[in-house]
Chains A and B, each alone.
Chain A
Amino acid sequence: MHDWNDQHALQIIADCAKNGQVLTSALRQLVDNFGYIDDASIAPLAKAFLRSKAEVYGTIQYYSDFRDSAPAEHVLRICQAESCQAVGSKKITKLVTTKTGIALGQTSSDGQISLEPVYCLGLCANGPAAEFDGNPVAELDEAKIDKILSGIRS
């Protein structure tokens, strides 16, 4: 993941528009490159894709993948959907929030970790499921949580 770079972002936007791709394709590439979509890109996106700035902003806000601020160093997403609830995902989520001192949807004050909800990773026979920095984790338990968190702190 790279730090936000206006020139690079403008290049991505121009390339997507030139190749006939849609607005969300450009948003996807921006997120994949920088981890988020900086407000600075709203005006150029609007111009390139013939939308109003409000429409671009609305599209970014609509999709949960399209962050509008830089993510934490590490992101732990824990499934909150039914299958995982059936095997105690709420309890395990609570354990994580206790250990990290932050609630679901929050980022630690040192910017090290964000906890996020996710609704189904398709690992439903082996819940609770989670994803840490893009890597899937199944059968999440306290030992696995401790391993993940100790890796962050060290």
Chain B
Amino acid sequence: MSANAVTRIFVPGDMLAIALGAGELVKELQKQAEIRNTSIEIIRNGSRGMCWAETLLEVQTNAGRVAYGNVKATDVNSLFEAGFLNGGDHEKALGQTEEIPWLAEQQRVIFNRCGIIDPLSLGEFQDSGGFIGLRKALQISPAQIVEQVTRSGLRGRGGAGFPTGIKWQTVLDTAGAIKHIVCNADEGDSGTFSDRLIMEGDPFRLIEGMIIAGLAVRAEQGVIYLRSEYPFAVKMMRAAIEMAEAENWLGKNIQGSGKTFNMEVFVGAGSYVCGEETALLESLEGKPGIVRSKPPLPAIAGLFGQPTVINNVITLCAVPDILAKGGDWHASLGIGRSTGTLPFQLAGNVAKGGLVELPFGVSLQKVVDDFAGGTKDGSKIRAVQVGGPLGAYLPPELFDTLTGYEEFAAIGAGIGHGGIVIYGSSINMREQAKYAFEFCAEESCGKCTPCRIGSIRGYELLGAEQIDKSLIDDLCEVMIEGSACAMGAMTPIPVQSLMRYWPEDFAEDIKAKS
């Protein structure tokens, strides 16, 4: 490398890196480079999903990208001293990024370029396979696009697991002068952040997926319902939409195809239940996010009563590769009726948390053993909660369960949005059960009695001196059978799994007090 060559340095600009001081790190890098009269170019990439190593600094060397983990502004001086611009050794060096086992052992499809490219470079996006799926979709009929998605076996990644092809077919078959593509980016489940990472790290992928969805069902407008807790994603998506418009990937006559698609971002206002699709539609219409009764299905009468596709971010982000490589390719990945890959998210009390994308069918044990690296506090893993606040808590004895929609349903659990929250030995299961009801009471939209009142009664029952298990089970049955949506109907899942697998935590208090 010549003395005057500009070295490219990658410092993620995503919300987590910023929360860990990446802003100060960049300033220090610039300052020290100036002092040393060295030319550097800092690229604010997205995150590689290796949250345990953030802020992950990478340097482009002749031999590839070299990584340094957990870098702080205070490390900059010693990094320069160690010759990091040429990949020099340092206590924080992680070696060649692509060879880090935690990344190398994943099978990344949806996250193939996240953290690698400049998120707002349409050139880098296309150089790494971007828009191949869209170009294909522009050449075939809506029915042919839907057929590929149906063949792929893709199911909704938001949690419900509904077959995407069937949803799209319904909207395509429904007459309507105006149809909508709504992207559900209200990622409110604790322990999940895959939507955030992809929107901040590869926003054009979501745009590509939404345009394809529009072409498939003859919809010309799309909206991303994005939670206000993700201000960085809001900014990134808006900037990407503007660039796509400027380059005619959005708007009228896309790339001379005669097809039209417009997109916008709608920011939520801090309501968890708006992640439920009908509450989300109400919210988009400017009303309180109170769930609607189904039928009619949103596919028939959705946003403003018009036919609407509502898909989760990751579902839409899976679509470009399905078009590019074919539905059969996607169907060949995974297990049974759970096809393709799932970006798992390891969170909570975890040593090596982050995003792990693997085909369905890998055991929960393998995800935990090969990637989590145990708990953060070094204690034994007591439980994992899979699928967000409405997901089951599972004991280590069940970790041999294979990750798939049916496989999880068979043990009374759900794979949800792929979030895995790990708990160590200090966690009290009765408190977690109480919290499940408390959260439901806080976030209930109030439309139906089982959820609105049941959640409060449940919280009280678990706080009582004597736990009346049969009464709690009764209450859970009423909530499961009688609630209008998943909020009330699924809150009993964490509660009952906790009482089933850790009865000792529910007996302790009673003994102590008697």
Output the nearest chain A residue to B350 by Cβ-Cβ distance: A125
B367 at the interface (CB under 8 A from A): no
| Contact residue among A66, A82, A126 (Cβ-Cβ distance under 8 Å from B269) | A66
B408 at the interface (CB under 8 A from A): no
Among B86-94, B242-250, B417-425, which stretch is in contact with chain A?
B417-425
Q: Say whether, besides A49-B286, A124-B348, A125-B51, A83 and B190 are in contact (CB < 8 Å).
A: yes
Cβ–Cβ contact A24 & B286, under 8 A: yes
Q: In whole angstroms, how far apart are the Cα atoms of A123 and B52 in the complex?
A: 11
Output the nearest chain B residue to A63 by Cβ-Cβ distance: B269
Cβ–Cβ contact B347 & A124, under 8 A: yes
Q: Say whether, besides A122-B230, A125-B52, A139-B20, A62 and B346 are in contact (CB < 8 Å).
A: no
| Contact residue among B190, B192, B269 (Cβ-Cβ distance under 8 Å from A84) | B190
Number of interface residues of B (CB under 8 A): 60
Which residues on the B side are within 8 Å of A138 (C-beta)?
16, 19-20
Cβ–Cβ contact A127 & B348, under 8 A: yes
| Contact residue among B271, B376, B419 (Cβ-Cβ distance under 8 Å from A87) | B376
Cβ–Cβ contact A22 & B284, under 8 A: yes
Q: In whole angstroms, how far apart are the Cα atoms of A122 and B353 in the complex?
A: 12
Which residues on the A side are within 8 Å of B284 (C-beta)?
22
Q: Say whether, besides A59-B287, A122-B192, A124-B190, A86 and B348 are in contact (CB < 8 Å).
A: yes
Cβ–Cβ contact A124 & B345, under 8 A: yes
Output the nearest chain B residue to A84 by Cβ-Cβ distance: B190
A65 at the interface (CB under 8 A from B): yes
Q: Say whether, besides A119-B190, A124-B353, A23 and B19 are in contact (CB < 8 Å).
A: no
Cβ–Cβ contact A85 & B435, under 8 A: yes
Output the nearest chain A residue to B197 by Cβ-Cβ distance: A122
Residue among B187, B421, B443 having the largest count of chain A Cβ atoms under 10 Å: B421
A7 at the interface (CB under 8 A from B): no
Give chain B nearest CB distance to A128 CB in angstroms: 11
| Contact residue among A24, A63, A64, A122 (Cβ-Cβ distance under 8 Å from B187) | A122
Cβ–Cβ contact B193 & A122, under 8 A: yes
Cβ–Cβ contact A81 & B389, under 8 A: yes
B270 at the interface (CB under 8 A from A): yes
Cβ–Cβ contact A126 & B353, under 8 A: yes
Cβ–Cβ contact A63 & B271, under 8 A: yes
Within 8 A of B (CB), among A10-36: 21-25, 27-28
B465 at the interface (CB under 8 A from A): no
A92 at the interface (CB under 8 A from B): no
Give chain B nearest CB distance to A144 CB in angstroms: 10
B228 at the interface (CB under 8 A from A): yes
Which residues on the B side are within 8 Å of A65 (C-beta)?
228, 268-270
Q: In whole angstroms, how far apart are the Cα atoms of A85 and B385 in the complex?
A: 12
Within 8 A of B (CB), among A108-128: 118-127
Output the nearest chain A residue to B445 by Cβ-Cβ distance: A62
A9 at the interface (CB under 8 A from B): no
Residue among A49, A134, A137 having the largest count of chain B Cβ atoms under 10 Å: A137
Within 8 A of A (CB), among B465-504: none
Cβ–Cβ contact B345 & A22, under 8 A: no
A58 at the interface (CB under 8 A from B): yes
Q: In whole angstroms, how far apart are the Cα atoms of A119 and B422 in the complex?
A: 17
Q: In whole angstroms, how far apart are the Cα atoms of A21 and B377 in the complex?
A: 49
Give chain B nearest CB distance to A52 CB in angstroms: 12
Q: Say whether, besides A25-B286, A124-B190, A125-B347, A86 and B421 are in contact (CB < 8 Å).
A: yes
Give chain B nearest CB distance to A91 CB in angstroms: 10
Cβ–Cβ contact A125 & B354, under 8 A: yes
Q: In whole angstroms, how far apart are the Cα atoms of A57 and B188 in the complex?
A: 25
Residue among A21, A121, A125 having the largest count of chain B Cβ atoms under 10 Å: A125
B191 at the interface (CB under 8 A from A): yes
Output the nearest chain A residue to B438 by Cβ-Cβ distance: A80
Cβ–Cβ contact A122 & B52, under 8 A: no
Cβ–Cβ contact B346 & A125, under 8 A: yes
Which residues on the A side are within 8 Å of B419 (C-beta)?
124
A129 at the interface (CB under 8 A from B): yes
Which residues on the A side are within 8 Å of B193 (C-beta)?
122-125
| Contact residue among B287, B432, B442, B445 (Cβ-Cβ distance under 8 Å from A23) | B287
Which residues on the A side are within 8 Å of B20 (C-beta)?
126, 138-139
Cβ–Cβ contact B51 & A126, under 8 A: yes
Which residues on the A side are within 8 Å of B254 (C-beta)?
none
Seen from chain A, the residues whose Cβ lies within 8 Å of a Cβ on chain B are: 21-25, 27-28, 49, 58-59, 62-66, 79, 81-87, 118-127, 129, 134-139
Given contacts A83-B191, A120-B189, A120-B190, 14 further A-B contacts (CB under 8 A): A21-B286, A22-B285, A24-B286, A25-B266, A65-B268, A66-B269, A120-B188, A123-B16, A125-B51, A125-B52, A125-B193, A125-B346, A136-B19, A138-B19
CB<8 Å pairs between A and B, sample of 6: A64-B271, A122-B230, A124-B347, A124-B353, A135-B19, A136-B18
Seen from chain B, the residues whose Cβ lies within 8 Å of a Cβ on chain A are: 15-16, 18-20, 51-52, 54, 187-193, 195-196, 228-231, 266-272, 283-290, 345-350, 353-354, 376-377, 385, 389, 419, 421-424, 427, 432, 435, 439, 442-443, 445
